[in-house]
Structure formats: structure tokens, C-alpha cells
Structure 1
């Protein structure tokens, strides 16, 4: 006899059980039923679900056990282990793993529900949406972790390291990293945008940080995007300012170091990009020096030129 599906095998097994009840006593029927129940009831649809659970990251035995609890709604560890075709000892280990992931929970039954009036522990399946929430949490962690890992990965390769930071906090973080660079640093600044993001308070802190480190800033700004009356050439603030020719306009900020370049977007787009590459930084310094030569000196605040 040939069977096309496992469902047909199960159906025949149940039919045999009914036939056997006509000539054996109840004890033997129970024993026969236990032998049948030791095989996990895995219908075609459940087989597909089991495969998908395994693909989603569950251990194969854990997936069988979880489906067994789902089918029953409530089950003891022994019942779920038998249906999943694992030993009771393994069942307790699997139950602990699934419980840690929020896929099953343990409840105590009412003593009145059992014949011997003893409290029994049962497993209840958690909402399967927990799998999606678990994956979403992992995705958030990986979204944050992978860029950092890629930065480490890139360090061993002959290519620049590029980091992208979003939002006002990203702009502030990238800007304040330049405080750790060697002096002097060079900058093409859009002051009007910087006073909006990261803001006036952050810029005051940044200037104080440069002053504390005696970090000289050579900066080119455009008059259209400058801050009226503010941040002139200053020996006290370690700043040398020039204004670019009037036909040029800068809506973004770029800070150039010896081996890194930080680019800050306008207040409209709010992002920062950090490129670590000696060759790229050298090229940007050369561009800066060309522009520096054609720019005009700004006034100083009376403290002189650093």
C-alpha cells in the first residue's frame, strides 16, 4: 500500500485504533493510543509552518515543540514533548528557551482540575506576533550595529571609511569630533545654518572647546550666509576668517583635518557625513587653499590674529 501524504498515514492509524477497540480492553487501547501519539502530528500546512519557523531562526526541535503547544492551547511539558517527538528532559530545556523568548509561558492549574487535587504546571503558547517583535528588535539593533561593524571592516581595506549620521544630534556629534583633530583645522562654514542646527548653544560650546584645546580654525564664509557681527578673526578664539568672493554661496559646512573631512548639511536636510581618508583630506585641503587665496580678510575682534 502506498501513501501520498502523512495525513493518510494518520487517518489509517486512527481507523486501526477504532477497529482494535472491538477486541481489546481499555488498557490496551490506551497503550496503543500512546504509541500512536508518540509520532508528532505534522500536517502538510504545519510542515510548511515548521520549515518557516526554522528559516526564521528557531531550532528544529524548538519549532516542533512550539507548534505542539500551539495546537493544544495548553499542555504539560511531557505532553508537548511527546507530540514533538523529543524526550521529556529535552522538553524542559526547550520550554525554558521558548519561555525566555516569550513564545510560551508557564501557568499553574487549579488543584480542582486534577483527580489527585495536585497543582500541575502547564505551558501556554504566547502570541505568535512575538516572533515579529523579536525580529523587529533584532533589526533595530543590527541597523545600529552593522554600520559600526562595516567601519571596522573597512579599516583593513584600501578604501575610505565613510560614516553617515542623521538629525541634529548627528550634526553635533560629527562637528564635536573635530575637536580631537590636530591644529590647524580648515572650515567652509554656513553660519546661518549652523546657528539653526546644531544651534547657538552648541556652537558656543564648540568654540569653548577649541579655545580650551588651542585649536586654530582657518575658516572661509560667505557674506550671504554669515552671522551678522559674529565670530570675526580672533586670537582669543583661535580663529582666522576670510570671506569668499560674492559670486559664491555656501549652504553646507565642511571641516577639513589632516586625514578626515566632516560635511554638515543645511538646516533643511540635517545630516552629517564623515570621510576618513588621507588622500581625500589632502585633496580637500588643496581646494580650500585655492579658495583661501582668492578670499578677502575679515575684520578681527581686536584681539589680533592667532
Structure 2
């Protein structure tokens, strides 16, 4: 895929692409020169350059009675994408809620493989509850294999950044390292379920969604978006929570 096709995937296409690359090549030049380099007439170029300026990709200014174009550092593209990603992260819970209300039925999303598990896991960070409290049943043994400790450490760090408290139940038999304890700093409250209960699949309950993470053997993530299902799972979690002993 060449540069034109790659930039087209993020909306820099047609006259926008021609003018932006011309501005990069010329550095700083009058609008007429940039338009000529791009093979466009000035009247067409003005509107497109205004859009590029709104995106922060070029700066337009006057000098000696002429309007000049100055291309900005291409790293602006990364900042632009990151800003949009953060905005979508904030909007996604509300948009999803509107979508589900309109559909009037549960939504089930299946994600296969390690990337799918990462996607399902990251969805749990979109909770919008007040306060942000998530319930989890975790199997450390399985999580250490898939998605792995490094990915889980990043996930925990991001959970804390998002201000999400986790009430978590684990089976002591499934713990493989002395980590992930109860901790106010780590926004986690841990309890161990009774010894006769072996919880070997990871489940997160947040808002009206339930996220299931399989073992490495089955290798999938599953998100069920359903008020009734989430309510039932939360009730079951609370019942096990009352039977479980606080860690530490």
C-alpha cells in the first residue's frame, strides 16, 4: 500500500492529500505555489487548505501581501488520531447504550485469538458507572498464559488510570504468583472463594455487560451486552462474595 492509500484510510485523500504533500515538499510557500505543485486551481485549494488548517496539518499566514502555507510536523497525524481515539472512548458507552436501546435485544460479540482477548479485555475499561466499580472472577493461572502477565500488567495500569475499582474473587488453587493483592492504591479488593469452588474462567461484570475470557486452550473473548444477564451474573457474584474470605 503506497502513501496515498495509507493516508486515505485516515481521511487525507483527494485534494487534501495533494495539497498536504505539496506543502510538505515546499516547506513554506505562497498558496499559489502550493496549489500549482498539487495541480489544483487556487479557488479549489483555498477550501481544502482551510480544512487542513482545522486539522492542524498546515498553518496559513500572511506575509508581504501574500498568503503562505506552512506544513506542520507529520507527528500531528498521530496526535490527531490519538485525540479522536480518546474522544471515541468517552463516547462509546453512550453510543452503545443508545444502540442497544434501539435494538431492544441483547448483543453478543465473539472475539477469537489473542488479539480478540485483548479487545474484549479492553472493553471492560469503558464502564461508566458512578462510582466506577467492576466485579471480577479471575483465574490467575489461565490469565498468565493468555493474554499473559505483561498484557495484564498494562491492563491493570490502565484500569487504575480510568479510576475503576475492582472487587475480585479468585480460587487460591489457581494463583501462581504472590501478586494482585487487595490494595487501595491498586484499587482492588480481593477475596478467596471456598476451597471446594475452583473458578477456572475469568469473568468481568460492568454496567450492563459481562466479559468472559477463556483459557489458552479455547482462546476467545466474549462480551454479552444484556441488562438481564448482567444482573443475574452480578447476583451470583454477590452470593459467592459473601461466602468468600478477604485476602491478607
Q: Same fold (TM over 0.5)?
A: yes
Partner of 1:214: 163
Shift of 1:153: 8.6
**1:76-127 Cα distance to aligned partner (Å, 9 max, x none):** xxxxxxxxxxxxxxxxxxxxxxxxxxxxxxxxxxxxxxxxxxxxxxxxxxxx
Tell me, yes or no, if structure 1 residue 267 matches structure 2 residue 216.
yes
Partner Cα separation in structure 2 for residue 264 and residue 284 of structure 1: 15
Partner Cα separation in structure 1 for residue 99 and residue 156 of structure 2: 34
Partner Cα separation in structure 2 for residue 186 and residue 169 of structure 1: 23
**Unaligned runs of at least 5 residues, structure 1:** 1-151, 300-306
Partner of 2:103: 157
Partner Cα separation in structure 2 for residue 266 and residue 187 of structure 1: 16
Counterpart among 229, 234, 242 of residue 178 in structure 2: 229
**Which structure has the larger Rg over C-alpha atoms?**
1
Shift of 1:291: 0.3
Partner Cα separation in structure 2 for residue 188 and residue 227 of structure 1: 16
Counterpart among 271, 276, 286 of residue 225 in structure 2: 276
Tell me, yes or no, if structure 1 residue 238 matches structure 2 residue 187.
yes
CA contact (8 A) 1:155 1:161 kept: no
Counterpart among 174, 179, 185 of residue 134 in structure 2: 185
Partner of 1:86: none
Partner Cα separation in structure 2 for residue 225 and residue 265 of structure 1: 14
Partner Cα separation in structure 1 for residue 244 and residue 99 of structure 2: 40
Partner Cα separation in structure 1 for residue 237 and residue 192 of structure 2: 12
- From the superposition, tell whether residues 154 and 179 of structure 1 become closer, same or farther in structure 2 (CA, over 3 Å): closer
Q: Secondary structure at the match of 1:173?
A: helix
- TM-score, normalised to structure 2's length? 0.57
Alignment map for 1:10-49 (pairs within 5 Å)? none
Counterpart among 274, 288, 303 of residue 237 in structure 2: 288
Q: Secondary structure at the match of 1:210?
A: helix
Shift of 1:158: 2.8
Q: Which has the higher contact order (CA 8 A, sep 6+)?
A: 2
- From the superposition, tell whether residues 242 and 159 of structure 1 become closer, same or farther in structure 2 (CA, over 3 Å): same
Aligned residue pairs, count = 148
Partner of 1:250: 199
Partner Cα separation in structure 2 for residue 234 and residue 277 of structure 1: 30
Partner Cα separation in structure 1 for residue 227 and residue 166 of structure 2: 19
Shift of 1:212: 1.0
Tell me, yes or no, if structure 1 residue 198 matches structure 2 residue 135.
no
CA contact (8 A) 1:186 1:217 kept: yes
Shift of 1:266: 1.1
Partner Cα separation in structure 2 for residue 256 and residue 295 of structure 1: 18
Partner of 1:143: none
Partner Cα separation in structure 2 for residue 267 and residue 243 of structure 1: 23
Shift of 1:155: 5.9
- TM-score, normalised to structure 1's length? 0.47
Q: Secondary structure at the match of 2:103?
A: coil
Partner of 1:24: none
Partner Cα separation in structure 1 for residue 245 and residue 99 of structure 2: 43
- From the superposition, tell whether residues 198 and 158 of structure 1 become closer, same or farther in structure 2 (CA, over 3 Å): same
Q: Secondary structure at the match of 2:242?
A: helix
